[in-house]
Amino acid sequence: MERLKYRLGFENCLAVGCKGRSGGMALYWKKEIDVVVKNFSRSHIHASIHDTRDEGETWFLTGIYGQPEAHRRHETWDLIRSLKMPSDQGWLLMGDFNEVLSNQEKSGGRDRSDMQMQDFRVVVDECELLDLGFQGTPFTWCNNRETDHSISERLDRCLANLKWKALFPMVKVIHGNAAYSDHIPIKLQLQSNEFLRKGRKPFHFEAMWVEDKNCQEIIKIAWVDSAGERTMEGVMKQINRCGEKLERWNKNSFGHV
């Protein structure tokens, strides 16, 4: 892990060993990122994250490796409950949960029992988490059998509370490709490619805008103009569109503040 840390361009690392051929977790970060590991186990790493390069808020990251045995899956749900963050603090969970939320997230094999999936759905609701969605192939794990018994499932995902989504409204989750693993990598992109290419700062809503009578009308028009599919991805597109309209209005009305 130490050697891999430098090959990947990171200065810091926390690694949790695997048990046999299952499990194993690692968290890498650069020196510009202030990471405080709160606790960890063979099933998780929980840490606070702060980017010292800007004045952004500290938020919390939990890396998860769900219990692979179905009869022990409740241990994962209890762990997540024990780590639940207050709603005023940003919280992101990502990793291999070893479970699906519905049978639409799998292909092949026998359907999951509703009770088994319901336990996962309940803990997501109790912890006030939202699925961040994804771009790319719909499944993140496959048993690699090129036969009629092939099974594919979406076991890896990113979940976050509303506070974290407010901190990173342009977040994207991208499913990648893997040549030598039955799991594919998932990439969490905090800013859009447009911001990354142009070096623009993330959108921030200015409190002073609400004092201007034009602000509400601009939001209404932008929301209606960008109305589309009623999915979380569709709602995020509408929010991004509102942000673009407000930024142009801010530049023309207030200039650089």
Q: d(Cα 201, Cα 212) in Å, to the nearest integer? A: 23
Instruction: Give me the domain span that covers residue 243.
Output: 203-253
Q: d(Cα 43, Cα 68) in Å, to the nearest integer? A: 10
Structure tokens at 41: 């186990």
| Domain endpoint, select from 145, 168, 194 | 194
- Assign residue 128 the CATH number of its domain: 3.60.10.10
φ/ψ (deg, to 5) at 225: -60, -30
List the beta strands (DSSP E) in the chain. 12-19, 22-29, 33-40, 44-51, 59-65, 91-96, 106-107, 130-131, 141-142, 152-153, 156-160, 172-175, 186-189
**Domain shared by 140 and 44, yes or no:** yes
Predicted confidence at residue 20, as pLDDT, reads 67
**Domain shared by 137 and 246, yes or no:** no
Predicted confidence at residue 106, as pLDDT, reads 94
**Domain shared by 56 and 77, yes or no:** yes
Predicted confidence at residue 182, as pLDDT, reads 87
What separation in angstroms does the CA of 57 have from each of 30, 49, 97, 169?
A: 17, 9, 27, 14
Predicted confidence at residue 138, as pLDDT, reads 92
pTM of full prediction above 0.85: no
| Domain endpoint, select from 194, 218, 238 | 194
User: pLDDT digit of tens for each residue in the chain (257 aa)?
Assistant: 667 787 888 889 998 877 766 668 999 999 999 999 999 999 999 999 998 887 778 999 999 999 999 999 999 999 999 999 999 999 999 999 999 999 999 999 899 999 999 999 999 999 999 999 999 999 999 987 665 678 999 999 999 999 999 898 889 999 988 767 889 999 999 875 444 445 556 667 788 888 888 888 888 887 776 666 566 667 777 787 888 888 888 888 877 65
Predicted confidence at residue 146, as pLDDT, reads 61
**Domain shared by 128 and 154, yes or no:** yes
**Domain shared by 158 and 218, yes or no:** no
φ/ψ (deg, to 5) at 138: -75, -15
For the chain, report the end-to-end CA distance as a whole number of angstroms.
46
Taking residue 44's Cβ as centre, other Cβ atoms within 10 Å add up to: 21
**Domain shared by 40 and 145, yes or no:** yes
**Domain shared by 82 and 207, yes or no:** no
